[in-house]
Amino acid sequence: MKSYQFLVTLNNVKPKVWRRFLVPTTFDFFELHSVIQISVGWTNSHLFNFLIADSTNNKTIELVADEESVEENFGMIQHYMKNPPEKGSFDEKMYQRLIRIQLLLARDVTLSQYVVEFPEFSYMYDFGDGWEHEIVMEKVVEDYNHDYPQVLEGKGTCPPEDVGGPPGYDEFKRVIKDKEDPEHAHMNAWGKEQGYKKFNLAKVNASLMEEWV
């Protein structure tokens, strides 16, 4: 079976957090989202999107999980096509933005439709905390022996959910390292409740097998 080898890197955090993994070429973008969640260490508690820069057509392809948003976006485009807005108006600016972003449902789009032509793209998780991930499809593996994803290697501990993005995570790390800080015990306990723990390759791969096998 063929697979894609991906490298995902979480931006704006130190120490660096990254994972290299394989997924079957038959997977769609929602399945890729699920693989990232498990392999990085997130809990799938927030919204996400993928953004792919389609330089050929001067568009940004945005893939999401919210079917209502996709339907609403399509409806608005249809409305403006039937009722062309006046030049220079707010509606025209809205229409131009709509046609420059192709909003698609992640589960309806297979990886093979885009990742070979556009191997570098981004993944955003939790629009409040704003966790930006850089994704690179490094190569196509022709002789992958499994029909489920597998992490090959990785480093770095995933931040806890709802910590407040990169600035909040920096403060979290400062407090849990300082035993003299009055918030140390509370923050330590909170981190454990949020599942804050070191990356364990064997456990992550066991979770991926459990999800797909």
Q: Render pLDDT for 52-71 as a digit per residue (tens, 0 to 9).
A: 999 888 899 999 998 888 88
Say if residue 22's pLDDT is above 80: yes
58 and 114, same domain (yes or no): yes
62: in domain: yes
Mean pLDDT of 10-29: 97
Which of 37-41, 58-62, 71-75, 142-146 is predicted least confidently?
71-75
* Predicted local confidence at residue 158, as pLDDT: 97
Mean pLDDT of 177-191: 94
Average per-residue pLDDT for the chain: 93
142 and 184, same domain (yes or no): no
Structural domain harbouring 184: 159-197
- Domains held by the chain: number: 2
165: in domain: yes
* Predicted local confidence at residue 100, as pLDDT: 81
134 and 174, same domain (yes or no): no
Q: Tens digit of pLDDT for each residue in 66-117?
A: 888 888 777 776 867 787 878 888 777 777 777 788 899 999 999 999 999 9
- Expressed in angstroms, the distance from the first to the final Cα of the chain is 15
Q: Rounded to whole angstroms, what are the CA distances from 182 to 1, 119, 190?
A: 54, 46, 14
> If 0-12 CB within 10 Å is exposed, 13-18 middle and 19+ buried, where does residue 112 land?
middle
* DSSP annotation string for 182-204: TTHHHHHHHHHHTT-----HHHH
Task: Give the Cα separation of 49 and 163 in Å (integer).
Answer: 20
* Predicted local confidence at residue 87, as pLDDT: 81
* Position 15 confidence tier, pLDDT thresholds 50, 70, 90: very high
Sheet containing strand 17-24, strands side by side: 101-105, 59-64, 48-54, 120-125, 131-141, 3-10, 17-24, 150-155
Q: Rounded to whole angstroms, what are the CA distances from 46 to 51, 129, 210?
A: 17, 10, 22
* Position 34 confidence tier, pLDDT thresholds 50, 70, 90: very high
State whether the Cα torsion 80-84-86-92 is positive or negative.
positive
Instruction: Name 125's bridge partners.
Output: 48, 131
Look up the pTM and report it: 0.91
144 and 207, same domain (yes or no): yes
Say if residue 146's pLDDT is above 80: yes
80: in domain: no
* Position 51 confidence tier, pLDDT thresholds 50, 70, 90: very high
106 and 193, same domain (yes or no): no
166: in domain: yes
